[in-house]
């Protein structure tokens, strides 16, 4: 019973508070305020709470109210059932994936010890690991995350088909083609990292990134797989279908793509799913390449650098401090990557569709295969 | 048949540096990030935000701003315009309507009995001011065309335009001696 | 035939040709103010001075006749200097009040200043001041300050009208044009002085401040004031005639036209019938054509013998030709009457007693006027009941007020009264059907003047309101009554008309030439 309650709390905190909170406020801060500042504007500030524009937050509320109150229009001749579930098919996978993202290592009921001679591995002495900081501890977590994320392709394709509109259909096709193309490069670039980690368990992967090379350089994924990091980030950017890869939408050619025939909350869900996917990609990059919850030189039993080790405030207190620091670290990493993705959006002009395909199939794919091959050779030699 | 004139432009060669895109993307990111951080700087003087919160912060128009027309006045307060129709002739939007009338004073002779500018049609090009031989019409009132709720509120007639009027330094008509009028 | 060299161009001209005309033939413009081809040559403005090889001083080109072997320079340095000096002299006391001057835009002084002078005034003293708006005549105003004393107007009154009203009074820079004591410029051609005035000294009262001349569009037309058929420039702006200006035609009116004719354009814009009406209610053409054809057909069925038709000599030949076909082929009546304005003032120059522009046209189209009944017969026939249905073109009748009133009273006796006219007059309310026709400015056609000269006029602007040319109305009715008359363009009617009648084909009028 307690397990179930803990899981429920975790789901609520992670999915509804963190993910939807970040995704929702991104629509506000990322798309409006951030873009405004980049373009020397101030952004929306006219909706006000008692005379305060509060960073444009009332606009967010107003948008929500507006979208809820709008009429839900289903086009005549549309497939009503598919048209209705398509937003859910896009939205739900973007949330389910979060079940395997660890926000912190398992909680150790005993004493944690870090073993520098074993690659700075942390072991739990006189107790057991309790999973409090990720919704689900899964041995094949990466696989699960990708499998779920791939489902959202169906959502987009179904939305495009079910709308009974040529714009929607073209948008759906573009979206599915683009997502499938980039999933290949994404998976292959990840495979190199997996070869090194030797595990599909995300929490294990993050633990391994706690290693220090020469006792000072954190062995994060970005250090051991720099090319894969760029490939993955790029492919992830394309996966989220946001600028500069926002080809499924195009005012001049296909209106709003597969969103054309959606209104009201269904439209909001589609839109929100896009933002949730952005945050999810950021989380994946963070855990696989940026050390997840790892903070450089901060370990559960103290601070270690150049072979030195000291524990401020005593072991008991430091453990809790390290938990807070590490949750803060992964949150910061995710938010930074989200911010970076938005910066990319306001920096780069959008591609042409054939350029998107060329980039996916002719550049990212060969590079990721080469990366996988070289990694495999090195791993084999070192092993 | 005219030939299509072409001018061959040499394409800038891209080196490996540009072709790999990543450094160039980073360069672009540094530009946008530069804007971003400068504009969220706590010191407002550092920010370079161009947005004017117009209704709250009144805008100061530049000195040479062309806005609402005004009709200049003679020294005795009568309208300076002599209804020569130069402005309505040159007006590309055809927004000036003048009907000339016979003035009681024979030395003035002609004046605009009706002078209406349809500010709705006006494209604020300033050609009427250029065309005016009498310095009678100007657009330097420093005001923009005010908003209106009904179409005929945008028809500015002579008296309304004269309210904004001022005196001109240009001499008009010369000095007439009363004796010459026999 | 003397041969003369003008600016290096060798040209052979008639003996007695002036240098100015010879230069024009050679393609060189010699500026001039006082010279007018229809008037005597005083050579007083000195604007046309040219250099003749061998002559001691510059010679006035308007006056000097060419001799064989003469070598003339119209653009030499001396000539240019003389032109500048003359213009500076003329402009010395000129008020330069172009913004309020009606002549601005067609002013020779403006044109020549821009072409030959273009320098600032060197006068530092006050300008000489004169009376500005002097009422020199009922139709003409005089502005002494603008006057350059070319005496064209004086010569016009002496040589063309012979009325001798005008002269120059005072001397030097006080000189002005004035009428002789007890006279005013009130001859019937007085506005021609405003036409020939090269500057804005004499201006038409009617056109005063009405429209700037550069806004006017000009259409070649024919005056409808009387049967003389003076050729005119019909000048209009925004679908409204602003003025008539005489168009040069040596066969008809030379450079002139009368004041009454000049003002006859006002008829086009007063009291117009603009909507088809049935018993006083406005209809559209579709509806009124149906109604009219049905009513006419019933009237013909009832009693074809009591059908009367009033033909108007105000309509063009093309309209009359279709009226004839309509009468003969569709109505089949032979009770024709002739309308038109009553006779009026007449003189021995341009003004004719017959105030209808196209009586000769009626004669030509219908093969004489013998078949037409006069007004008295018309009224008698209506009153006696011989006419039950009347179809009337235009509202005019050659009758005095009393007779006209008799006619209006008699209209009540008619079973059906169809009026097809430009104007409402008092008849449109009485008509069972009133069909709006358009004026000569809104369509094209041909008038035959008193002399039998067929003169075409052109369309100036689109018909006002719902009005249509007479010929189109006849075509509509004929089609609705099942006997279509098929024409698309006026020139088709014109060709057929000229084939049918050769009486009025004295040849096309001479092309208008600018002075």
Q: So what's the ipTM on this one?
A: 0.80
CB contact (8 A) between residue B25 and residue A344? yes
Kindly report the length of chain B: 182
Same domain as A172, residue A55: no
Residue C10's contacts (CB-CB under 8 Å, 6 or more residues apart) are C3, C4
Q: What is the pLDDT of residue B173?
A: 67
The CA-CA-CA angle for residues A78, A81, A86, to 5°, reads: 90
Are residues B63 and B140 in contact, defined by beta-carbon separation less than 8 angstroms?
no
Residues A46 and A146 in one domain: no
Strands C307-311 and C335-338, bridge-based pairing: parallel
Residues A57, A103: one domain?
A: no
Confidence label for B176 from pLDDT (cuts 50, 70 and 90)? low
Q: At what angle do helices A166-197 and A264-289 cross, to 10 degrees?
A: 20
* CA-based nearest distance C131→chain B, Å: 6
Where does a domain end: A40, A69, A98?
A: A69
Q: Is residue A3 part of a domain?
A: no
Residue in C closest to B131 by C-alpha: C99
Tell me which CATH code domain C3-91 carries.
3.10.20.740
In a domain, A243, yes or no: yes
3-state class (DSSP) for residue A172: helix
Chain B residues near residue A347 by CB distance under 8 angstroms: 25, 28-29, 31-32
What is the number of structural domains in chain A?
2
pLDDT tens-place string over residues C241-258: 999 999 999 999 899 999
pLDDT in tens, B112-155: 999 999 988 999 899 999 999 888 999 988 888 888 888 888 89
**β-strands C433-436, C416-421 pairing:** parallel
Domain limits, chain C: 3-91, 126-209, 277-503
Lowest mean pLDDT segment, chosen from A214-223, A324-333, C331-340: A214-223
pLDDT band at C513 (very low <50, low <70, confident <90, very high): very low
Residue A129's φ and ψ, nearest 5 degrees, are -75, 130
pLDDT at C506 over 70: no
Residue A42, chain B, CB below 8 Å: the answer is yes
The CA distances from residue B45 to A14, A53, B40, C70, in Å, are 40, 21, 11, 85
Q: What percentage of chain B carries pLDDT values higher than 90?
A: 26
In this structure, the answer to whether residues A190 and A248 fall within a common structural domain is: yes
Q: How far apart are CA A281 and CA B87, in angstroms?
A: 64
Q: Which of these three, A36, A54, A69, is where a domain ends? A: A69
Indicate the residue of B89, B133, B176 with minimum beta-carbon distance to C129: B176
The conformation of residue A141, written as its DSSP 8-state character, comes to H
The predicted structure's pLDDT at residue B181: 44
Tell me the per-residue pLDDT of A178-236, one tens digit each, with 9 for 90 and over: 888 888 888 898 888 888 888 888 888 888 888 887 778 888 888 888 888 988 988 88
Among C142, C209, C217, C240, pick the best mutation site for testing chain B contact (most B Cβ within 10 A). C209
pLDDT bucket at A99, cuts 50 / 70 / 90: confident
Decide yes or no: CATH 3.40.640.10 for domain C126-209.
Answer: no
B109 touches chain C (CB under 8 A): yes
Classify burial at C265, counting beta carbons within 10 Å of its beta carbon; exposed 0-12, middle 13-18, buried 19 or more.
buried
**Omega of the bond leading into A244 within 30 degrees of 0 (cis):** yes
Residue A293 lies in a domain: yes
User: Quick check: is A4 in a domain?
Assistant: no
Assess whether A202 and A89 both reside in one domain: yes
Q: What does the pLDDT read at residue A14? A: 79
CATH 3.60.15.10: does it fit domain C277-503? Answer: no
The residue among A84, A26, A59 whose CA lies nearest residue A240 is: A26
CB contact under 8 A, A41 and B50: yes
Q: Do chains A and C touch (3 or more CB pairs under 8 A)?
A: no
**Alpha carbon distance C219, C265 (integer Å):** 13
pLDDT tens, position by position, A105-153? 888 777 777 777 777 788 788 877 777 777 888 888 888 888 888 888 8
Cβ neighbours of residue C424 under 8 Å, at least 6 residues apart? C271, C272, C273, C395, C434
Strand A302-305: give its sheet, edge to edge: A298-299, A302-305, A308-310
Which of B23, B39, B50 to probe the A interface (max A CBs under 10 A)? Answer: B39
- Cα distance from B26 to chain A (closest Cα, Å)? 9
Q: C456: which strand partners? A: C446
Mean pLDDT of all residues belonging to chain A: 84
* Confidence bin at B182 (pLDDT 50/70/90): very low
Contacts of A343 in chain B (CB under 8 A): 29, 32-33, 36
Apex CA C362: angle with CA C361 and CA C364, to 5°?
65
Question: What is the pLDDT averaged over residues C43-71?
Answer: 91
Look at residue A155 and tell me whether its pLDDT is greater than 90: no
| Confidence check: pLDDT of C207 > 50 | yes
A162 and A144 fall within a common domain: yes
pLDDT of residue C435: 92
Q: Which of B174, B178, B182 to mutate to test the interface with C (most CBs of C within 10 A)?
A: B174
Domain range spanning residue A34? 20-69
Look at strands C389-393 and C307-311 and give their pairing.
Answer: parallel
Examine the domain organization and report whether A273 and A151 are in the same domain: yes
**Residues A80 and A50 grouped into a single domain:** no
pLDDT-derived band of residue C86, with 50, 70 and 90 as boundaries?
Answer: very high
At A355 the three-state DSSP class reads helix
Same domain membership, residue A93 and residue A55: no
User: Which residue in A42, A340, A347 is closest to B51 by CB distance?
Assistant: A42
Contact between B45 and B121 (Cβ < 8 Å): no
Query: Do A241 and A199 lie in a common domain?
Result: yes
- Give the single-character DSSP code of C251: T
Pair A162, A58 in one domain: no
Residue of A nearest to B23 (CA): A230
Give yes or no: residues A38 and A174 share one domain.
Answer: no
Instruction: State the Cα–Cα distance between residues C446 and C495, nearest whole angstrom.
Output: 11
Q: C376 vs C338, C340, C386, C407, CA distance in Å?
A: 11, 14, 13, 9
The strand pair at C277-278 and C433-436 is best described as antiparallel
Q: Buried b vs exposed e over C157-169: b needs ≥16 C-beta within 10 Å?
A: bbebbebebbeee
């Amino acid at each position: 019973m307690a397990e179930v309650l803990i899981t429920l709390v975790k789901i609520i905190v992670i999915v509804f508070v963190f993910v939807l909170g970040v995704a929702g406020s991104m629509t506000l801060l990322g798309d409006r305020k951030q873009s405004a500042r980049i373009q020397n504007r101030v952004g929306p500030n006219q909706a006000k709470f008692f005379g305060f524009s509060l960073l444009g937050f009332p606009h967010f509320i107003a948008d929500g109210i507006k979208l809820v109150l709008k009429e839900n229009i289903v086009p005549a001749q549309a497939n009503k059932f598919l048209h209705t579930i398509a937003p859910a098919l896009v939205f739900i996978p973007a949330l389910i994936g979060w079940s395997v993202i660890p926000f912190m290592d398992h909680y150790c009921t005993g004493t944690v010890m870090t073993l520098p001679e074993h690659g700075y591995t942390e072991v739990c002495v006189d107790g057991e690991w309790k999973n409090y900081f990720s919704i689900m501890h899964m041995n094949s977590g990466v696989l699960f995350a990708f499998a779920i994320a791939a489902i959202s392709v169906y959502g987009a394709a179904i939305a495009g088909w079910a709308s009974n509109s040529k714009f929607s259909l073209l948008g759906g096709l573009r979206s599915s083609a683009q997502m499938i193309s980039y999933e290949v490069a994404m998976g292959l670039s990840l495979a190199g990292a997996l070869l090194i980690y030797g595990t599909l368990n995300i929490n294990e992967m993050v633990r391994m990134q706690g290693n220090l090379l020469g006792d000072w350089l954190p062995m994060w994924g970005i250090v051991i797989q720099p090319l894969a990091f760029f490939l993955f980030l790029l492919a992830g950017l394309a996966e989220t279908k946001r600028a500069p890869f926002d080809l499924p939408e195009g005012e001049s050619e296909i209106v709003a793509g597969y969103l054309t025939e959606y209104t009201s909350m269904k439209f909001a869900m589609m839109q929100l799913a896009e933002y949730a996917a952005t945050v999810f990609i950021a989380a994946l990059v963070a855990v696989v390449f940026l050390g997840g919850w790892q903070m450089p030189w901060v370990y559960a039993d103290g601070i270690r650098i150049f072979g030195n080790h000291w524990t401020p405030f005593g072991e008991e207190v430091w453990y809790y401090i390290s938990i807070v620091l590490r949750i803060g670290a992964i949150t910061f990493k995710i938010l930074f990557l989200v911010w970076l993705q938005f910066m990319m959006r306001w920096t780069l002009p959008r591609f042409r569709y054939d350029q998107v395909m060329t980039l996916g199939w002719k550049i990212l794919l060969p590079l990721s295969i080469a990366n996988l091959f070289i990694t495999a050779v090195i791993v084999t030699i070192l092993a | 048949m005219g030939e299509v004139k072409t001018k061959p432009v040499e394409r800038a060669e891209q080196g490996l540096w540009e072709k790999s895109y990543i450094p160039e993307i980073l360069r672009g990111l540094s530009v946008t990030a530069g804007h971003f951080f400068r504009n969220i700087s706590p010191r407002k003087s550092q920010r370079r935000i161009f947005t004017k919160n117009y209704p709250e912060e009144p805008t100061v128009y530049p000195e040479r701003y062309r806005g609402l027309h005004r009709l200049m006045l003679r020294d005795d307060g009568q309208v300076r315009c002599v209804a020569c129709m130069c402005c309505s002739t040159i007006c590309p939007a055809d927004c000036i309507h003048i009907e000339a009338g016979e003035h009681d004073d024979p030395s003035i002779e002609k004046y605009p009995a009706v002078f209406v500018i349809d500010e709705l049609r006006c494209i604020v090009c300033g050609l009427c001011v250029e065309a005016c031989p009498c310095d009678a019409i100007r657009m330097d009132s420093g005001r923009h065309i005010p908003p209106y709720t009904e179409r005929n509120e945008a028809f500015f007639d002579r008296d309304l335009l004269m309210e904004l009027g001022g005196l001109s330094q240009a001499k008009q008509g010369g000095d007439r001696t009363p004796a010459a009028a026999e | 035939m003397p041969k003369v060299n003008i600016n290096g161009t060798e040209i052979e001209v008639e003996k007695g040709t002036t240098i100015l005309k010879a230069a024009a033939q050679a393609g060189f413009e010699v500026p001039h103010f006082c010279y007018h081809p229809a008037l005597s040559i005083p050579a007083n403005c000195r604007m046309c001075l040219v250099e003749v090889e061998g002559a001691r001083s510059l010679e006035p080109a308007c006056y000097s006749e060419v001799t064989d072997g003469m070598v003339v320079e119209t653009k030499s340095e001396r000539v240019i200097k003389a032109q500048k000096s003359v213009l500076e002299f003329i402009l010395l006391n000129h008020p330069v009040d172009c913004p309020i001057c009606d002549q601005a835009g067609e002013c020779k002084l403006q044109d020549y200043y821009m072409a030959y002078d273009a320098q600032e005034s060197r006068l530092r003293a006050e300008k000489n001041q004169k009376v500005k708006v002097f009422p020199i005549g009922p139709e003409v105003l005089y502005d002494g300050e603008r006057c350059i004393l070319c005496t064209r107007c004086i010569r016009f009154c002496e040589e063309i009208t012979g009325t001798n009203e005008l002269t120059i009074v005072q001397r030097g820079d006080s000189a002005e044009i004035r009428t002789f004591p007890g006279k005013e410029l009130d001859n019937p051609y007085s506005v021609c002085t405003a036409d020939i005035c090269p500057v804005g000294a004499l201006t038409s009262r009617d056109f005063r401040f009405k429209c700037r001349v550069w806004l006017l569009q000009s259409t070649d037309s024919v005056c409808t004031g009387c049967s003389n058929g003076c050729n005119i420039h019909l000048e209009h702006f925004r679908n409204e005639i602003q003025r008539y200006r005489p168009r040069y035609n040596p066969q008809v009116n030379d450079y002139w036209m009368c004041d009454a004719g000049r003002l006859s354009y006002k008829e086009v814009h007063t009291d117009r019938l603009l909507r088809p009406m049935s018993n006083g209610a406005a209809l559209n053409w579709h509806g009124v054509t149906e109604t009219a054809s049905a009513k006419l057909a019933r009237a013909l069925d009832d009693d074809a013998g009591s059908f009367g038709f009033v033909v108007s000599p105000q309509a063009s030949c093309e309209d009359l030709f279709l009226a004839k076909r309509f009468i003969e082929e569709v109505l089949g009546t032979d009770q024709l009457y002739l309308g038109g304005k009553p006779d009026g003032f007449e003189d021995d120059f341009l003004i004719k007693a017959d105030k209808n522009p196209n009586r000769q046209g009626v004669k030509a189209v219908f093969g004489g006027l013998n078949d037409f009944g006069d007004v008295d017969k018309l009224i008698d026939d209506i009153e006696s009941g011989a006419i039950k249905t009347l179809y009337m073109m235009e509202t005019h009748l050659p009758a005095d007020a009393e007779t006209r009133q008799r006619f209006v009273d008699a209209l009540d006796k008619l079973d059906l009264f169809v009026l097809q006219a430009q104007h409402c007059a008092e008849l449109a309310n009485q008509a069972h059907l009133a069909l709006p026709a358009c004026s000569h400015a809104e369509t094209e056609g041909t008038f035959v003047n008193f002399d039998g000269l067929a003169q075409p006029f052109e369309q100036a602007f689109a018909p006002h309101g719902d009005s249509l040319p007479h010929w189109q109305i006849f075509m509509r009715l004929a089609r609705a009554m099942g006997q279509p008359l098929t024409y698309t363009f006026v020139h088709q009617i014109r060709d057929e008309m000229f084939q049918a009648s050769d009486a009025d084909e004295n040849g096309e009028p001479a092309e208008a030439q600018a002075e």
